[in-house]
Structure 1
Amino acid sequence: MSQKKVYTLSSLTQSIQNVINTQCSKVVWIKAEIVKLNYYPKSGHSYPTLVEKKNGKVIAELKGNIWAEQFQMINQKFKTVLKEELRDDMTVVIQGSVNYHPVHGLAINITDIDPEYTLGELAREKAETISRLKEANIFDANRRQSLATLPKTIAIISVETSKGYGDFMDVIKKNPWKYKFHFLLFPAILQGERAVATINQQLEKIRIHAEVFDAVAIIRGGGGEIGLSCFDSFVLAEKIATFPIPVLTGIGHSTNETVTELVSYQSFITPTKIAEFLLQKFHDFALPLKEGEEKLKNGVNWMFKTRKTNLRETARLFSSLTSRATDNSRSSLQQIIFRLMNLSTQNFRNQRNLLLQSQQCIISAARMPVEIEKKNLKFTEEKIRMLSPENILKRGYSITRQNGKLIKAADELQPDLLLETQLYSGTVSSRIEQLKKP
């Protein structure tokens, strides 16, 4: 019996290493998705998990190695071209070679990553998001919302310690016109892979109390232009597009607008511009009001001044005429004044009489339908009284009952029972001697 040949594990892995590193050491370009970057700041190395997906399912997976020197170079290229750091969930084209290590296993040693391809992928994803929003007919939905004339109560989604939030609050609180606002901060992460989830969570909290707020302000600043691709997410853009109150965005960048900004009610380059916009809304309302107040004040002052001047002029002329007049003139003037007073008194009396006559006419007109209805009611009462059983009996009629039952016809009678006849005065009991039916 032949003896089995047994290899050590290290010799097997060494053989694998020799084959792979010899046959697969060629440097190639590979398209993959970075699921997890696995960057370690202390060492500066990164060990990304690379996958390929088809219809949402992973069909290939491999580990990558990016040593510290290469990682710094690659990350800087991404910052320059994409305005974005290398991160999770990013589709890339990498340059590297397959390497096998007896302990660490199979991996790709990554020496370069082309940011231009990733830039194209991000642009494609952005265009796809816009297309989906338009197909759903919600791209302009938030812009169709109505912003209050005086938006006083604002929900803010931001980081409390961010420079953008601080700048926004400084402009609002230090406005020279002392306009007052009410703000409530909903803290969220505003860049990177966690931004979409945290912003959506805070938007949902605001939605529950949407009737309290006039608008939502998404404020980001102080972080440069890195990490903005989250604002091209369909999930976030859809949430903002369909939000029930206006959403104002100021995420602090000067490049092409993100999808989030495109679907918001209004976007601004910086958080400070949002603050200036809100102050301008108050200005647009307050200035015409102040101008109207000033016009009214000036008009009243002019009217009083004019009337006062006319009154003084009249008094001066009257005083002058009086001082020049002779005794006869004074007497004539007094007679004229007396007659004018009598005429005024007579006119007042005439007007008073007309008023009294009108009063009497109104009272008479109001009483007439009441009197007519009273007469109609009295006539109806009389008819009812005449038709009462008592009055009918009084005219010679009678009411006949048998066994308590009112008799209306002869065939209702029972010959063996007594009859009771009610007259106007008294009742009569009788027996039937003879019955004639019709």
Structure 2
Amino acid sequence: MLNYASTDLYPLDPISIDGLTRYIEQALLSTPQLRQVWVSGEVSSATHHPSGIYFTLKDKVGKAALPAVVWKSQIPELETKPQVGTEVLVFGKIAVYAPHGKYQFQAQQVLPLGEGLQALRLQRLKQRLAAEGLFDRERKRALPAYPQTIAVVTSPTAAAWGDIARSLLARDPGVLVLFSPATVQGENAPNSIERAISRVAIDGRAEVVILARGGGASEDLSCFNSEIVVRAIAECPVPVVTGIGHDRDESLADLVADASATTPTAAAMLVVPALQDRIDAHFTRIDRLQAAMQRVAIERQSQLDRLRLRCERIKPDRQLALEIDRLHGLQQRLQRAIAAKLQTVSQQHSHLRERCQTLDPRLVLQRGYAL
């Protein structure tokens, strides 16, 4: 056993406190893992000082605590400031505070942990894609007025697929629906959605694409904030309409799409106008055309009557007789043109009526068929 009272064991040149502190500081700085390190913890205290923000990180599971500081010059660079009770992710280095002989964590960046960190990543991705112009209104394409072929990208087991199919059938039984299945939840969802949209592009028949999913938790809908999905929508050769069933916020897929709706059913109604509305619009156009033709006929008849009155007041001659004959011929040609146009409109009307009767599901049910 050593006897420390023995004078021959005392060093001739003892190290000073300052020297020991510098030695410890050099030892910490010479360790690469301590010069640049990310630390997670809960802020248990925070004090604002003219020189910076002094705070303490507490381990959420254990009892360990770490004193930390953000110098005044670094505060404007922080994504978030340390606040008591928040969980944060801090980047910085370990240093020694010589006056107190303690080590502390000198922070260079503070990020929110958990949902806050995910929101920050989403915000940065949104800003980067917006800078590329993917969300600009100028690049959005107009939807076809009366599409005959529609592609639907969603899960085959999701309720959204049934809602869309029923809505499209009810609004226009003659529309052709192409189904491109995809996984719309989980880690594999972004790549699955990208492949489904690519299949539609390769097929080439669709005039518009509906990308849909029913409601769910925010983490279940995170695939629609994936950069892979955003770029797949932007590169699709035909317009894309999103119908993602959540009203709390917009996904990046909604922002890049050519049009968006709050639910899958609303997306189907946005893409395909109701057949009855088209019929009513057609009848309205017929009425407007007939009224326009009648106004023209009345105007021409009025001009003809004025010319006839003028002719009756003067002595008729050969030139005047020829003019009258020309006007009579013009009147006959105009009447024949009006009659031919009205006949064409009547034929279109009859064709549309026959088509509506053929597509009416009530006639099928009256013959004894049922689903």
Which is greater in Rg?
1
- TM-score normalised over the length of structure 2: 0.46
